[in-house]
Structure 1
Amino acid sequence: MKLDNVDDDVSLFDAEEDSASRKSKVKHPVASFFHLFFRVSAFLVYLLCGIFGGSFIACMVTIILLLSCDFWTVKNITGRLMVGLRWWNQVDDDGKSRWVFESRKQTSGKQSSAAESRIFWLGLIICPIVWVIFAFSTLISFKIKWLAVVVLGVVLQGANLYGYVRCKVGTRTNLKSMATNYFGRQFLKQTLTKQEES
């Protein structure tokens, strides 16, 4: 299995943005809505199934469908539109599987807004954490029948998180150096802000 990181410009539906959408903070409101809709819906169905006494099979199928729609939407649409990232698995003619991680160059005319980027990354990071918490609560409360659903939530949302982190970080840098750079910038920003205030 071969891993690639492509820094070339990603073609994103080849649609030009009109001037009205450039002015708004969220350039793709429908994509932003559906980025969170399926995730939150899966959480709500999981949490409210026990309260309203729905059948386990109906709740499980609904949650799995919502998680699958979320995985497909995030992987194929919202990642491209909201942050200019995409990843996929490609099988070559000789049968070798290779993973491709792409990121749009920031110098291109299609830059994502800060609001969309924040929505994308918060949804992408927080949701797998919530599913992990659900997994622990399922084990602690001995509701083992829900464990398969919760594990599926962790796997599908974790796979998207892993894929997009690989797109963002790339293969040349590692997560540790990215975290060090981020915290260094935050420390420098706080120091400069405090000096300006005094």
Structure 2
Amino acid sequence: MNNPATAGDLDDFFSQQNLGPPPAASGSVQSSVVPPTLGPQAMQGFGSEPAAGGNPFGAVIPDFLKGAKHPVTCCFHLLFKTLCLLVYLFGGYVWTNAVLTYIFCILFLAFDFWTVKNVTGRLLVGLRWWNIIKDGENGEEVNEWVFESLQDETQLDPLDKNVFWLGTYAWALVWTLFLIINVLSLNLSWIVFLVVAEVFAWTNLMAFWKCSKDQKERMQSWVTGAVLQKMTGGTGLDLGRFV
């Protein structure tokens, strides 16, 4: 999960959209300080897609996703999950060698984790996260988590959000169910894979939930501060800022 190179690439992308780099951390855990704000012009470059009718992939986009703002991104949010589940459930009927089934499951699992973490979360719900290892004050390594969120949720599409959150929650719950079934049936041959799948799925879910929770708390703080500033008659106190 430690991917400084990816974080740097995303910082460059966000800086091109006039978002600026993420603020410095004040401790071992860092959350989003100011959710990034995008204007209409910047939002057009923030992963916009042509409508399903004018999209080169329009013929293969399912009907229930054609009304989404990012139909192709929605497809990829579900694609690797579907492939991984199909291989896990039916791979034994295709390959006599169980190792091939295991390898393909791991590959699709990794593809899905990377896609959700770095692409679909940013485009569908305006959230992103990463973690880096930094040197602490005493020379020890400190695991630093960074969470960012888009401030103006009105720029997000409801169908995009539903696809993202339903897919992310279902993905974590499905692997939890499979793990419980395998443990109760004493079928331990896939336990290692299921544990890895659980870690990947729940890491993404909890990280994006943290991004969303931070965003809502900071929006509430901003609204409260703005109201207080109005009530004090605009004394010059900058109470409407995120803290």
Q: TM-score, normalised by structure 1?
A: 0.75
- Residue 101 of structure 1 corresponds to 147
8 Å contact kept, 2:74–2:164: yes
Could you tell me which runs of 5 or more consecutive residues in structure 2 were left unpaired when the two chains were aligned. 1-27, 54-65, 218-243
Give the C-alpha shift of residue 136 in structure 1: 1.2
The answer to whether 1:9 aligns with 2:39 is: no
SS at match of 1:9: coil
Q: Compared with structure 1, are the counterparts of its residues 141 and 14 closer, same or farther at alpha carbon in structure 2 (3 Å cutoff)?
A: same
8 Å contact kept, 2:87–2:105: yes
Match of 2:131 among 89, 99, 103: 89
Q: How does 1:126-137 map to 2 (within 5 A)?
A: 126-137=170-181
Look up the equivalent residue of 1:34 and give its one-letter code.
F
Percent identity, please: 33
| Cα root mean square deviation, aligned | 2.9
- CA–CA distance in structure 2, aligned partners of residues 34 and 143 of structure 1: 31
8 Å contact kept, 1:4–1:171: no
The answer to whether 1:25 aligns with 2:52 is: no
- CA–CA distance in structure 2, aligned partners of residues 22 and 48 of structure 1: 31
The answer to whether 1:59 aligns with 2:86 is: no
Look up the equivalent residue of 1:69 and give its one-letter code.
F
- Residue 164 of structure 2 corresponds to 120
Deviations 1:41-69 (A, max 9, x none): 11111111234453211111100000000
- CA–CA distance in structure 1, aligned partners of residues 36 and 94 of structure 2: 48
Look up the equivalent residue of 1:76 and give its one-letter code.
N
Deviations 1:96-135 (A, max 9, x none): 3311111101168xx1110010000000001110001110
For the pair shown, the structure with the greater C-alpha radius of gyration is 2
Q: Compared with structure 1, are the counterparts of its residues 123 and 17 closer, same or farther at alpha carbon in structure 2 (3 Å cutoff)?
A: closer
Query: Which structure has the higher relative contact order (CA within 8 Å, separation 6+)?
Result: 1
- CA–CA distance in structure 1, aligned partners of residues 35 and 177 of structure 2: 37
8 Å contact kept, 2:124–2:156: yes
The answer to whether 1:143 aligns with 2:187 is: yes
Q: Compared with structure 1, are the counterparts of its residues 171 and 97 closer, same or farther at alpha carbon in structure 2 (3 Å cutoff)?
A: farther
The answer to whether 1:34 aligns with 2:76 is: yes
Look up the equivalent residue of 2:174 and give its one-letter code.
V
Match of 2:86 among 44, 49, 58: 44
Which deviates further from its counterpart, 145-154 or 17-26? 17-26
Count of residue pairs brought into register by the alignment: 171
Q: Which runs of 4+ in 1 moved over 6 A?
A: 10-14
Deviations 1:60-100 (A, max 9, x none): 11000000000000000000000000001134465533111
Look up the equivalent residue of 1:113 and give its one-letter code.
D
Q: TM-score, normalised by structure 2?
A: 0.62
8 Å contact kept, 1:10–1:102: no
